A = this chain, B = another copy of it.
């Protein structure tokens, strides 16, 4: 007898049960698994009375379909992968929020992986996502998307955030127009000598903002000046300090993001220069603290959450095969005028002359 016991293979060899399965429900409801599945998914013909009955039983048993099983069988995970670079607080949380609520609304989950500083890391994560996600939302830290692009399974729907490429759909913030508009605004205040603190060279947002600045300056009487920053507050402080030690100094400073503008503000204060009376200052991003600075910072608003939302829309459209859907999308920016920029005054002229 011991032998037979040993011989008889356990029906569930590996592990213990977790919850009710579809077969349990079927048995209890006196129908087949097919009927249960059809009822729960609302596909195929099921008599109303049968459907009600099955639903009731399922409810009573607290049955919840096992996601892994479902996705193995149906080839869909109802999950979107989100790959993000290392990015600063507010930006990060807003993108995620936008994506999160949009995805949940459509019945999708999001598998997040953030803080990637290099492409190889992203490629590794990308591989680990096989069979786990139905589509991908990717924001790359790098300008060069080649390597990453090559490692995306060809059939995988993808939307790139703030990156540009021929091969995938993409959605971007209109950095170019924003920077151009801000530059024109500053020019319109009478400033002619304008310093621009650019972002890191390899960053695509930075590149676009620089381009916007240059285009706005082109053909005007303005004297442009470009400094290289890192998108950090420290670099804003450093470059501005350097800048101010030269005489004569510009009457306005346009930093390519708010963090650098904050650094610049500190450098200005340290030199006892008033904003905007002595020097006008502008930023980019409209991070929440921008309006709480003294003086409140004139900047360019970017609706980050909207970026996330629209990216999800775009991805789902692609997944549903609407090839008609757009391949490119652009999120507009808006100029936010506060108090940190003023008209160029006579006193500024005087000081420069002396």
Contacts and interface: CB of A to CB of B under 8 A. Distances in A.
A112 B92 contact: no
A101 B115 contact: yes
Interface in A138-170: 153, 155
Contact of A66 (B64, B113, B131): B131
B113 A96 contact: no
Contacts of A289: 288-289, 292
A109 B114 contact: no
A302 interface: no
A244 interface: no
Contact of A109 (B100, B101, B111): B111
A101 B65 CA distance: 30
Interface residues of A, number: 52
Nearest to A73: B14
A153 B129 CA distance: 26
Contacts of A79: 111, 132
A112 B110 contact: yes
A75 B113 contact: no
Nearest to A91: B93
Contact of A131 (B15, B69, B115, B127): B69
